[in-house]
Structure 1
Amino acid sequence: MVESHQSHKMPLGLRLSKLLTPAALVEAINKASVNVRLLDCAFVPKARPPSYKFGHFEADPNDESRQAFLSAHVSGAVHFNLALATHATDYEKFAHYPAEIFEEYAQLLGLNSDDHLVFYGRGPFGGMLFASRAYWLFKSYGHAGGLSVLDGGLAAWEEQQMPVVSTVNAHEAVFVAKKGNWRAKTEPSAKTVSFEQLTAAADDGTCTRSVDNCAKWLLLDARPRPQFEGLQNAFDPSKQMPTGSHLPGAVNVPSTELIDAESGQFVSAEQLQDLVVKSGINLLDEKDDKILVSLCNSGIQASMLATVLDAHFGPQIGHKLRVYTGSMLEVQARAPELISEK
């Protein structure tokens, strides 16, 4: 059984993997050593309500994401709501807050800087979509403690006959009674790329606003192959439609191929390496110092790709990984002419 501590301690010598099986998570929780905190990333995408205000974190108890959390979650988990943790702009659905604002949300969840955070989700892609987005959020702010995701999400947990609850206690409230001391170590720009950065000319003149053949970036497009190849449209019909389907120089590493069909978990390091090689690139080339920019439509699938790359190859390429959170929908809105390749 999983103990329902508010925070769980782990011996200093024990280091959790970035990808956890249900059994490994239970073992870590029951070790009762450095603080292990569970974050349920249940999220139902929808427009933010009219009452939404920048930097305000009042949660709607009738929110569908909240209701999904309440229906079944791991005991001791708190609900991490992506719609509250990020904000909307003219071009982004889930833009990162300045560090001091995000800190407030993390503290309201009762999180501390030395906590080891474990994210899990549910639904398509083995529940890894929104868990990965949360993982990359905290990585972008330089979380001082460890970060992990429950591989396969809540479905994997339940398949192993692990217990779930549909009630909340004081520690599982929308915002816990005692605020945490969590602090950001960096601004999110440390692990993300903006439209302005991506489209600016390199200092050495090796690339232009077309982002074509830029020596600075390697663009990893995480959208499904049909979207990348222009066989399926995912662009905003209310905006000017681009002539192509992807950015020049981008390579496709589809999110749909990052999850093992049988297990519902992330593919292995070997399978991921094979997938990347099939895309025509060698991410592990130590001589290649290009920044690896993961993108998709709105930053969610891009975060999943960045997370699995970080989990499997973090020591080799983690320092080069970035997510373009605005992704293709921002490019379409601001410079559709850049989407010129098919």
Structure 2
Amino acid sequence: MSTYQQERPGGALECLRARMADELFVSCRWLRDRIRNDPQPQNLVILDVSWASDKDMEEDYHSGHIPGARYFNIMDDNHTEMYPRNLPSAENFTSRAREAGINNDSHLVLYSKSQHGGMFVCGRAWWTFKYFGHKRISILDGGYNQWLEENGDVSTQPRHYSLMGNFTVNIQSNMRVDFDEMVQRVERKDQMIDSRASDKLNLQDPDTYIGNAINIPMSVLVKDYLIRPKEELRTYFTDQKVNLNEPVICYCNSGMSSCSLVLALTYCGAKARLYSGGFNEWRRRRKSSIL
């Protein structure tokens, strides 16, 4: 098992990151201009998806957020010992998305206050909305921290919306790998990425990871809050022997940071899927004969 550890010099930032709205990442400048020109832009829904295991982030939302943003708890469902970061049920997710005023044609812009420019939680939120079939999703590059760095306005007023959305679930089952399929993929030696922090693993002990996984911590995806330029990321992955022309399965402990790896690989044009059960499920259910 290899790991990416050496920091490389950052590439040139892409023209102030003023990316178009139909791209995976949008800049703070782009969002600030949209809000300034139209405080309630049609079909644009800004979601604060901040989450923390030890803090009430909805309460934190009320203490300060991007103007017009709505709070959405991406982790609100039944979590278990086997699945401590469980995916919400389709019924739960549909109800909460509609209550947040999300329509099938809404353009979602996600941000969070989590580490690594918000990527830790935004990756999970992006993957969850994609899994449940939503199409127009962008991530605010740099998250809330970058918004503050660029002197973006902050509001303490919650966004009021009276109309229920018409969001409809359309599960994209091909985005997800379950345990039984993971067993087959390991036997076939398919390529996998473990996104857990390297210091959490014993790289000399195959019992601490799955199959022939490469360790690429999600922290390498971001520099100074911002997602690294696409070509730089492609170089990172290629240097770590990831074949971007072949499917990749990503996992972590319980389906959080690995979503950001799926996001980054998608951004680079690769086909990536999530083993959402992660190592937490694997170590409880694995069979020694396939290791």
TM range (shorter): 0.7 to 0.9
How far 1:178 moved relative to its partner? Answer: 2.4
* Conserved? CA contact 1:122–1:154, under 8 Å: yes
- What per-residue deviation string (whole Å, max 9, x for no partner) do you get for residues 128-166 of structure 1? 11111111100111114x111111110100111110112
* Conserved? CA contact 1:212–1:249, under 8 Å: no
Match of 1:309 in 2: 265
Is 1:179 matched with 2:185? no
Change (3 A) 1:213 1:279: farther
Residue 189 of structure 1, aligned match among 151, 167, 173:
173
Within 2, Cα distance between the matches of 1:28 and 1:69? 21
How far 1:15 moved relative to its partner? Answer: 4.2
Within 1, Cα distance between the matches of 2:290 and 2:80? 21
Which residue identity is paired with 1:223?
Answer: R
Within 2, Cα distance between the matches of 1:109 and 1:338? 47
Is 1:24 matched with 2:30? yes
Q: Secondary structure at the match of 1:105?
A: helix
* Conserved? CA contact 1:218–1:250, under 8 Å: yes
Gaps of 5+ in 2: 1-19
How far 1:77 moved relative to its partner? Answer: 0.8
User: RCO (CA 8 Å, sep 6+): is it higher in 1 or 2?
Assistant: 2
* Conserved? CA contact 2:24–2:139, under 8 Å: yes
How far 1:194 moved relative to its partner? Answer: 1.2
Residue 126 of structure 1, aligned match among 117, 130, 138:
117
Which residue identity is paired with 1:306?
Answer: V
Match of 1:80 in 2: 72
Is 1:327 matched with 2:278? yes
Bigger radius of gyration among the two: 1
The 5-angstrom pairing of residues 250-289 of structure 1 reads 250-260=213-223, 263-283=224-244, 285=245, 288=246
Which residue identity is paired with 1:155?
Answer: N
Is 1:38 matched with 2:46? yes
Is 1:221 matched with 2:165? no
How far 1:243 moved relative to its partner? Answer: 6.3
- What per-residue deviation string (whole Å, max 9, x for no partner) do you get for residues 162-185 of structure 1? 1011232423xxxxx321111122
How far 1:21 moved relative to its partner? Answer: 1.1
- What per-residue deviation string (whole Å, max 9, x for no partner) do you get for residues 310-333 of structure 1? 2x22xx32xx32111111111122
Which residue identity is paired with 2:235?
Answer: D
Which residue identity is paired with 1:74?
Answer: I
* Conserved? CA contact 1:332–1:339, under 8 Å: no
Match of 2:13 in 1: none
How far 1:336 moved relative to its partner? Answer: 7.2
* Conserved? CA contact 2:70–2:158, under 8 Å: no
Match of 2:3 in 1: none
Which residue identity is paired with 2:194?
Answer: D
Match of 1:198 in 2: 182
* Conserved? CA contact 2:47–2:110, under 8 Å: yes
Identical-residue share of aligned pairs (%): 26
Within 2, Cα distance between the matches of 1:254 and 1:281? 14
How many aligned positions are there? 270
How far 1:68 moved relative to its partner? Answer: 1.6
Match of 1:164 in 2: 154
Change (3 A) 1:256 1:192: same
* Conserved? CA contact 2:142–2:227, under 8 Å: yes
Q: Secondary structure at the match of 2:75?
A: helix
TM-score when normalising by structure 2: 0.84
* Conserved? CA contact 2:75–2:87, under 8 Å: no
Which residue identity is paired with 2:104?
Answer: S
- What per-residue deviation string (whole Å, max 9, x for no partner) do you get for residues 278-323 of structure 1? 211221x3xx4xx32111111111011111222x22xx32xx3211
Which residue identity is paired with 1:324?
Answer: Y
* Conserved? CA contact 1:122–1:153, under 8 Å: yes
* Conserved? CA contact 2:75–2:88, under 8 Å: no
Within 2, Cα distance between the matches of 1:138 and 1:190? 14
How far 1:113 moved relative to its partner? Answer: 0.7
The 5-angstrom pairing of residues 91-102 of structure 1 reads 91-102=82-93
Match of 1:9 in 2: none
Q: Which moved more, 1:105-114 or 1:75-84?
A: 75-84
* Conserved? CA contact 2:117–2:142, under 8 Å: yes
Which residue identity is paired with 2:192?
Answer: L
* Conserved? CA contact 1:221–1:228, under 8 Å: no
How far 1:97 moved relative to its partner? Answer: 3.2
